[in-house]
Structures are given as structure tokens and as C-alpha cells.
Chain A
Amino acid sequence: MTAARLARPLRAVITAALVLVLALCPVWGGDGARSTLIVFAYYAALAQMWNLLAGYAGLVTFGQQLFIGLGGYTLAVGCERIGLGVWSAFALAAVVTGALAVPVGALTFRLKGGYFAVGSWVIAEIFRLSFGNWSYVSNASGMFIRPARSVDPWLLYYVAIGLLLGMVALVVATLRSRAGLGLMAIRDAEDAAAGLGVHVWRVKLLAFVIAAAGTGLIAALITVQTPFIQPNAAFSIEWSAQVSFMAVVGGLGTVEGPIIGAAIYVVLQHRLGGSGAIHLIVVGAVSVIVMLVAPRGIAGLVRDRWGWTLFPVARRPPVKADRAP
């Protein structure tokens, strides 16, 4: 069975065209387009990281907001309390979240499946409550990041796009590496993978750390863009709700899936007005429907139907097509 694949040069052209359009935004778009695209970019990047874990490593987590909050606060503290420049604080955010991912992963890996998902949520909660009670970061009222206001908005835009492209490149690179093969082997059959000599624990932790650092970096961007941070928003479970929606609807286990999902989400947000109750009801309902009816998401459907894929790295997606009888 040979799937009709988009020829390599065609894929390169399409990708280059998309990047070009994004790069030329100051030419064709104004401030509105810029803000929307920044939001799209960071959502897509976050969804990439979640997808790396859930779609490839088999680690479904509802606790990524831990690293969003941590990354954001590292930036805030870096700028406001330690006196770092915005971009140095960026780098610090990635370092701090990546480092913290090690003990958090080591602890939560003791839980399996759904318990890992909720366990990571619990840890995020611990941080949410603790930060809310910590005077150094102004408790629950939050912090304002003053140096962020002097960052040129178009610079921020290019950083956002750059981050998205960087995350995509990072995911593709990881998956094409040996660790990446190990990852997918683990996702498909953990015991078998272990039997083949894959260092399951180490590979999972590596993926977890990469995703955490990436998430931390993106969170720093989000914080600079806002430029305000507050524990209940930064460590909110809503991040997981949004990101899981994007990855699932877009297509788990594919590289273009999270991007598609983020685009859909942003459009949805515009139509249904921010994060009101109706918006969330639609998000929840659509997640359920897609998961039941088209479990491989949009990218998966396209792949199954026409064999098209922009980044041919994915092997079997994490949801089995045929159910056990």
C-alpha cells in the first residue's frame, strides 16, 4: 500500500510560501493581524509541545500549565526583581522550566495513564496555590512586567513566529533522532520497547524536559506580550483544555496537526468572543466529537484520505483505528 505523498519539492515550496506570508505581515497586515498571529503562534507552539508528549511519547498530561506559570514567572521575576533584560529572562525561563521538569517528571512518572494526567495537574495546583501566597511575587494580585512595554511589537511578532518555527524544527529533529524512534516505540508498546533495549524512562524524561523547556520559553513570550502575570491565570487548567483541544482536533501524532488546531481555535475564539461559557462549551463538545468520530484529527483525516503530509515524520498515530471487539 503506497500512500500518495506530496513530493518533496512541493512540500518545501508550500512551507516556504507559508513562512514568507508570515514574514511579510508588516506589509500586508496591521496591528490587528499582528496580535492575532502572535496568539496563533504561541498557541500552535504550545500545542506542538503537548503533542510531543501525548501524540508521540504517550504521555497525556493535564499539567503543562505548571511550566507555563513557571516560565512566565521566571520572566517576571527576572525582569522585575533581578533586573535582567527581557531576552536574558527569556533564556532563564527555558532553563528553569527545563531543570524543574526533571524532579517533576521523576515523581509523576510513577503514575500511569490517566493518573499521570491528573497527577501533573495536582502539581500545577500546588504551584498555583503557593505562588498565590508568596509575597515575593505579590501573591495573587500578580505582577506587571514594566520592561516588556518597551519591546517593539513587531520584534515580538518575529520572535513569536521564530519560536513557532523553532518548536516545529525541534519536534521534527527530536522525532528523527534515535531518541525519537525510541519515543514512538514507547508510545506504541511500552513493554515491547523496553524489551528491545529502549531506555524507556530516560527517553520519556528527555521528551518531558524538552517539552517543559519549550513551554517555558513560550510562556515567557506570552508574559511579555500581556505583559502581566497572575497565578490563577498562569497556572490555570484552561491552558491544558485549550492545548489538548488544538492537538486533538488538529491531529495528534502529526507535526502539522497542532498548527491546524491552533488556527481553528483562534478562529473559534474570534467568533465566540474570548473565553466565555459558550466558547468553552463548544471547545469541550468539539473535542469529544472529534475524539469519537475522527480520532486522528484533521491532519489525520487528510493523511488517511489523500496521503498528504507536510512533515512526514509521524508513523502510526497514537489512537488505534480499529477498536478491540
Chain B
Amino acid sequence: MTMQLIETLLNGLLLGGLYGLIGLGLSINFGTMRVVYLAHGDLIVLAAYFLVVALVPLGIPALVAAAIVVPVLFAVGWALQRFIVGWSLGRGILPPLIVTFGISMVLQNVLLLFATADARTLQTSLASSGVRLGSITVPTVRIIDFAVGVGCLGLLLAILGRTALGRALRATSDDADTARLMGVDPRRMYAVAAGISAATGAVGGVLLSATRTFYPTTGSEALLVAFEVVVVGGLGSLTGTFLGGILLAMAQLLAALWPGPSYSQVAAHVVVLLVLVFRPQGLLPRTAP
């Protein structure tokens, strides 16, 4: 029984890498622009579709295709922000919500139209292979999820912490008007942030395609996961978001153990409720990186 528990927790930790990754993009956008990007989940799924339905059938090896998807999604995220969402800023909370929600609807249904409602997944040998750790077997995919997740988090923290772009982004997020006084153009920063967010999401999308099946509607699911991860982790902290992902994944997998598999989805939602009631500021406070 304890072995099962440890196996579940370990799997949760690793799957949490994917969840955390999915949440990072939302966190970046909210941190910079104070906008909850309701289209974030659909961008993740768009990446997955682009990979599985467009690139892979052309015969491009999965890894190369993944390397193509990420910059393409950066461009998509950048363009959406620059030409559409950016124009909804500065007028209160409603316009960006309606606009990103509208984009989400359009994306989901365009995918439905062109890629149909069939279940999709990335066929790889990874799906069935596992790694033995003592008496526990862990799916290889999960290990990759975690490694890539941690890697992305590290990369983002490095960009934010050590580069000129990162400093400009953080300054804009602190105080956009004063950033302007330094010569920073907030609109450019928002577009770059949205691009980075989409690119991070694309990595998540690639992993998602390898981890499970997906549909056009998976975008909404991904958005809710991202949202919950950010709320649990603490608004404004990337590391917190990542930890939130781990916590939620663990909660889900534990709930599948007990009370049962049909409760695993609700479990994550309930954890968020509990966080809201008992620790509304989330795991890590704002001042953490």
C-alpha cells in the first residue's frame, strides 16, 4: 500500500512538471499585463495540433517538429497580443477578458473545423516505456515532462533575472509608466511577454501530445489547469506556479487512488477552493522570483 502511495506521489511530482509548465505562460502574461489570458489553453492545444496533425504527417521527426512548433507559437502569441489583445488594454478588466475569451472560442472551433473532433495524440515509443526505480516503474514520458518543465522554469528565470529583456519586462510589470520614463515601450514588452508565454505553452503542448490524447476542447481544460496552478502557486511567482503544478498533479493522482478515478478531476478544483479559503495568497508570495 505504501509502495502504491509513493509511486503515486512520485508520478504526481513528475506530472506536476507538465502542469507547472502549462501554468507558467499564464503566469507570465498576468505578471506583465495583469490580464488572465483566456486563450492560453487553446494556444497550448494549437501547438499540439500543429505538431501532430501538420508536421508529423509530413515525415518530420518529432524532435525537429517540436523545435519548429515553439518559435511558430511565439510568433502567434506575439501577433495576437500586438494586433488584437494589446488594443483592449487600459480600459478596465472587461475588454481583455472578452477579447481573449473570443479568441479562445475562435481557436477551438477553427481546430474543430479543420482537424475534426477526433482524439489525437503523438505516437511515440515513449508512451509505453517506463523506467524502473527499485520496485516502482515510472512512465518515461512523465520523467521527460518533469525534466523539461524544470528546464523551462530555469530558462525563464534566467531570462528574467539576467538579461536586459528580463529587466525591462520586470520593470514594466512593476510600473509600466515609469518603465516608459526609462525608454521602455510597454506595448513591445507585452507583445514579447505574450510571445514567450505562447512559446512556453507550446512546449507544454508538445509534451501534452505525448502524454495523453487531446481534442479541440482540451484547450478549456488546459486553461483551467493553468489557472488553478497559478492560484495555488501564488500570483506573480514563476517558481510558485511550478510548485503549484506539482501540488495539483499530486492531488489529482492521489484522488484517483482514493476515492476513485472519477474524482481525480474534481480533486484539483477542490484543492483550489481550499487554497482560496485558507491561504488565498497562494504558496509563494509575490516577492519570490
**A and B in contact, CB less than 8 Å:** yes
| Chain A residues within CB distance 8 Å of chain B | 54, 58, 60, 62, 107-108, 110-111, 113-115, 117-119, 121-123, 125-126, 129-130, 133, 237, 241, 244, 248, 252, 277-278, 280-281, 283-288, 291-292, 295, 318-320, 323-324
Q: Which 6 A-B pairs have the closest CB atoms?
A: A114-B36, A284-B105, A288-B102, A287-B102, A277-B109, A284-B106
CA distance A71 to B230 in the complex (A): 31
Known contacts A60-B97, A291-B95; A126 and B109 CB within 8 A of each other? no
Which of B99, B101, B269, B273: most chain A CB closer than 10 A? B101
In angstroms, how far is the closest chain A Cβ from the Cβ of B260? 9
Interface of A is mostly: helix
State how many residues of chain B have any CB contact under 8 Å with chain A: 48
A318, B94: Cβ atoms closer than 8 Å? yes
With a cutoff of 8 Å between Cβ atoms, the chain B residues found around residue A130 in the complex are 266
Which listed segment binds A: B9-17, B62-70, B83-91, B150-158?
B83-91
Q: A285-B102, A323-B90 are in contact. List 12 more A-B contacts (CB 8 A).
A: A113-B36, A114-B30, A125-B224, A129-B266, A130-B266, A280-B109, A281-B110, A284-B106, A292-B84, A292-B95, A318-B92, A323-B91
The residue on B at minimum CB distance from A241 is B105
Which of B30, B97, B102, B277: most chain A CB closer than 10 A? B102
B270, A126: Cβ atoms closer than 8 Å? yes
The residue on B at minimum CB distance from A107 is B276
B36, A117: Cβ atoms closer than 8 Å? yes
With a cutoff of 8 Å between Cβ atoms, the chain B residues found around residue A122 in the complex are 224, 227-228, 269, 272-273
Is B147 an interface residue, CB under 8 A from the partner?
no
In angstroms, how far is the closest chain A Cβ from the Cβ of B44? 15
Q: Given A118, A129, A318, which contacts B38 in the complex, CB threshold below 8 Å?
A: A118
Interface of B is mostly: helix
| Chain B residues within CB distance 8 Å of chain A | 30, 34-36, 38, 84, 87-99, 101-106, 108-110, 112-113, 220, 223-224, 227-228, 231, 235, 262-263, 265-266, 269-270, 272-273, 276-277, 280
The residue on B at minimum CB distance from A247 is B98
The residue on B at minimum CB distance from A288 is B102
Known contacts A277-B113, A284-B104, A323-B90; A115 and B36 CB within 8 A of each other? yes
CA distance A118 to B37 in the complex (A): 10
With a cutoff of 8 Å between Cβ atoms, the chain A residues found around residue B96 in the complex are 114
Known contacts A60-B94, A291-B95; A115 and B231 CB within 8 A of each other? yes
With a cutoff of 8 Å between Cβ atoms, the chain B residues found around residue A323 in the complex are 89-91
B92, A119: Cβ atoms closer than 8 Å? no
Q: Given A111, A113, A244, which contacts B34 in the complex, CB threshold below 8 Å?
A: A113
CA distance A286 to B113 in the complex (A): 18
CA distance A300 to B108 in the complex (A): 30
A241, B95: Cβ atoms closer than 8 Å? no
A114, B35: Cβ atoms closer than 8 Å? yes
Q: List 18 A-B contacts (CB under 8 A).
A: A110-B280, A113-B93, A114-B93, A114-B96, A115-B36, A119-B227, A119-B231, A126-B270, A241-B101, A244-B98, A252-B94, A284-B103, A285-B102, A287-B101, A288-B99, A291-B98, A295-B95, A320-B92
Q: Given B88, B97, B266, B280, which contacts A114 in the complex, CB threshold below 8 Å?
A: B97
CA distance A57 to B19 in the complex (A): 34
The residue on A at minimum CB distance from B37 is A114
With a cutoff of 8 Å between Cβ atoms, the chain B residues found around residue A115 in the complex are 36, 227, 231, 235
CA distance A287 to B109 in the complex (A): 15
Known contacts A121-B224, A122-B224; A288 and B90 CB within 8 A of each other? no
CA distance A203 to B38 in the complex (A): 28
